[in-house]
A and B are shown apart, each in its own frame.
Chain A
Amino acid sequence: MIDYLEIKTDADCLFVVNLLNYAGIPLRKVRPCEGGCRMWIPSEDGKKALALLADNGKVTVVCKDKTVKKYLRRNFLRFGLWAGLVFAVILLVFYSAQVTRIEINGLQNLAETDILQAVNALYEFPVAKKDIERKEIVKAVTTLDGVASCAAEIKGNTLIVTVYEELEKVPVPDKTDFTDIVSSYDAVVTRIIVYSGTGLVKKGDTVRKGQTLISSDVKLDETLIAKEKPLGDIYGRVWITKTVVISETVLVRKRTGRTETRVSFQKEIEYKGEFADYDEEVSEFFLPSVVPLKMYVHTYYETATVEEERDFSENEEAIVGEYFAEMESSFPAGSVALDKWYDVKRLDKNLTLELYYEIETKLNS
């Protein structure tokens, strides 16, 4: 408790408390003790309380004096304390006048290191606040690619750089190109949206590859025709076919049974043996020495390509699925698969597999 006096009197608690309270003096931590009682009183009321108790013939002793004056008097000659305080104040003042870290906000696509490099090129941190020119930082950051604008402010010991990135550039269509939009496939039109130009087909029309779908000619009146960049989206049903000849034999790589083994400390080594075609397997083990050393065993299996008979009817589903998957991977982006089927034709030695896929896709891709 600061600015309080602890006193001890030889009087009874009740007497002291009521006497001092009657005089308007508040008391704290009142507790009876051997031969009287102890309590804390505010230092400003100290003299008054002591006089009152003396007037009533009570012996009072001040046990602890925690007044501010006393405290200052006691610590006045503690030079180490004052020196420490002064040093702490100087340190705080010096530290508060420095910028020690950078915080970068607002980044979405740009790398933080680019911004940091631009700022560090101007100043070497820590740097005094008064030496920082915020306009210079803004100028340096704004010159970077992808930065639209920038703001720099100092809060405490932190330099906060807020970056506003440029918006993504939208591709602007070249409106001076008057080439007609033509179909890329033989198809049946399912949807047509014309933004500019004249649409020459409608839903349900059959179109051939290379046929004009949207013309650049726009009729202004009966006789006047103007040119306009044709823009639009035309979708249609397209049938894609693929013919595959399937042999009843298939080439397979098989191990011949001959092997070679090499032992090395390295996991990857270059093979310099007599096998032209081989498979490699690597296993590891530790040498049973004092220090366990890791070794690798490289086993090379000679392989050869051999012809193997294949029964199409047994693997029909898998073979057809494989070729359909191949076709799907070549579809234009945004296509929707509508239907698929296949047909098998038997020749003398081989089989011919005809695959059909019906898709809806953009015709003017």
Chain B
Amino acid sequence: MNGFYNEMLMRMGLPADQTVGVKITVCDLCGVLVEGHKGLLGCSAEEISLRVKKKKLVIRGKNLLLLEITPDEAYIKGKIFAFEVEGDD
């Protein structure tokens, strides 16, 4: 996973030291893994919001279920329609 993540950063030409912290992995638009979240901000079957860094990550979809949540990771299952990041830079 780490090797894949580093390769992705390298291909995108992003600095590795500034881009660590949050990783969002989407599996076939039916599952999401959010690594490095800071807390849950909203939870319903249509929308789940998580705090990432100082912003709000909104995941919109259908039949969303917070399958597992730990202090660092969140596994979300359901039909994913959209991702949105809210908050100022």
Contacts and interface: CB of A to CB of B under 8 A. Distances in A.
Contacts of A111: none
B20 interface: no
A28 B77 CA distance: 12
A21 B70 contact: yes
B67 A13 contact: no
27 contacts: A13-B40, A14-B43, A17-B39, A17-B43, A17-B66, A17-B69, A18-B39, A18-B40, A21-B40, A21-B69, A21-B71, A24-B71, A26-B68, A26-B69, A26-B70, A26-B71, A27-B66, A27-B69, A28-B69, A29-B65, A29-B67, A29-B68, A30-B65, A30-B66, A31-B65, A32-B44, A37-B43
Q: Is the interface of B mostly helix, strand, loop or mixed?
A: strand
Contacts, number: 45
Contacts of A29: 65-68
A37 B66 CA distance: 12
A22 interface: yes
Interface in B44-89: 44, 65-71
B4 to A, nearest CB: 24
A14 B49 CA distance: 10
A302 B68 CA distance: 98
Contacts of B42: 14
B47 to A, nearest CB: 12
Interface of A: 13-14, 17-18, 21-22, 24, 26-32, 37
Contacts of A18: 39-40
Interface of B: 39-44, 65-71
A297 to B, nearest CB: 76
Nearest to A26: B70
Contacts of B65: 29-31
Given A22-B71, A24-B71, A31 B66 contact: yes
B66 A14 contact: no
A317 B70 CA distance: 99
A23 to B, nearest CB: 9
Nearest to A16: B40
Contacts of B39: 17-18, 21-22
A33 to B, nearest CB: 11
Contacts of A32: 43-44
A30 B43 contact: yes
B41 A28 contact: no
Given A27-B69, A28-B69, 16 more contacts: A13-B40, A14-B42, A17-B39, A21-B39, A21-B40, A21-B69, A21-B70, A26-B68, A27-B66, A28-B67, A28-B68, A29-B68, A30-B43, A30-B65, A30-B66, A32-B43
CB-based closest 6 A-B pairs: A30-B66, A26-B70, A13-B43, A17-B40, A21-B71, A28-B68
Which of B39, B65, B66 lies at the interface centre, i.e. has the most chain A CB atoms within 10 A of its CB?
A: B66
